């Protein structure tokens, strides 16, 4: 059974990513999003640095316009459908949380460990959404690598870990092929 939350292990075994374009309402309430973020922040964090930031994007139309403006500036001859695609990225699913890797530079905890912690926080956000009865999808794409998009949410010393879209599946969630355990597990 997909998305079974009757136990912790069944929740882990059945969590599926929802394609953001296939996530509809109802979406989580602001209080539910706050709880998801509270749970996501319970991630492994060597040094107790909290090397991540969460930005709940409430003004989706503003974000859509920003993406279209940035795409147009970077691609002056872009056809209208590309600008619309940039806009639509921001408008998928009922809720959107941006996660930033926000490392503490110069700290004894290596940068790599801090970046891994940001990934763990993002994954925990996906787990929290699932445990609360929603589906979520973690996307990157060109916006995650744009300094101007990053600057809308954070600072130059941060990086966009991704965009987590949250909602209710509008269609059954597909299970993707899983790797062959023999190909990814060894014993030493």
Supply the pTM of this predicted model: 0.93
What DSSP character marks residue 2?
A: T
pLDDT for 1 equals 56
Q: Which helix (H) or strand (E) holds 8?
A: helix 8-14
The domain limits of the chain are 8-58+92-172
What DSSP character marks residue 154?
A: S
Residue pLDDT, tens place only, 5-63: 678 888 888 888 999 999 999 999 999 999 999 999 999 998 999 999 999 999 999 99
DSSP string, 27-73: ---HHHHHHHHHHHTSS--TTS---EEEEE---HHHHHHHHHHHHHH
Residue pLDDT, tens place only, 68-112: 999 999 999 999 999 999 999 999 999 999 999 999 999 999 999
Q: At the fourth CATH level, which superfamily is domain 8-58+92-172?
A: NADH Oxidase (3.40.109.10)
């Amino acid at each position: 059974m997909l998305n079974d939350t009757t136990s912790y292990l069944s929740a882990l075994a059945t969590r599926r990513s929802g394609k953001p374009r296939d996530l509809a309402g109802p979406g989580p309430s602001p209080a539910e999003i706050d709880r998801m973020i509270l749970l996501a922040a319970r991630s492994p964090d060597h040094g107790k640095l909290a090397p991540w930031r969460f930005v709940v994007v409430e003004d989706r139309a503003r974000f859509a316009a920003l993406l279209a403006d940035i795409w147009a500036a970077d691609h002056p001859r872009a056809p209208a459908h590309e600008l619309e695609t940039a806009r639509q990225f921001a408008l998928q699913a009922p809720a959107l949380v941006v996660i930033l890797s926000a490392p503490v530079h110069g700290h004894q905890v290596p940068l790599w460990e801090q970046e891994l912690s940001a990934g763990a926080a993002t994954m925990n956000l996906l787990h929290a959404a699932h445990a609360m009865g929603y589906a979520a999808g973690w996307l990157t794409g060109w916006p995650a690598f744009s300094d101007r998009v990053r600057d809308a949410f954070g600072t130059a010393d941060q990086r966009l870990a991704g965009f987590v879209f949250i909602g209710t599946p509008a269609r059954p969630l597909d299970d993707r092929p899983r790797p062959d355990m023999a190909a990814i597990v060894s014993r030493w």
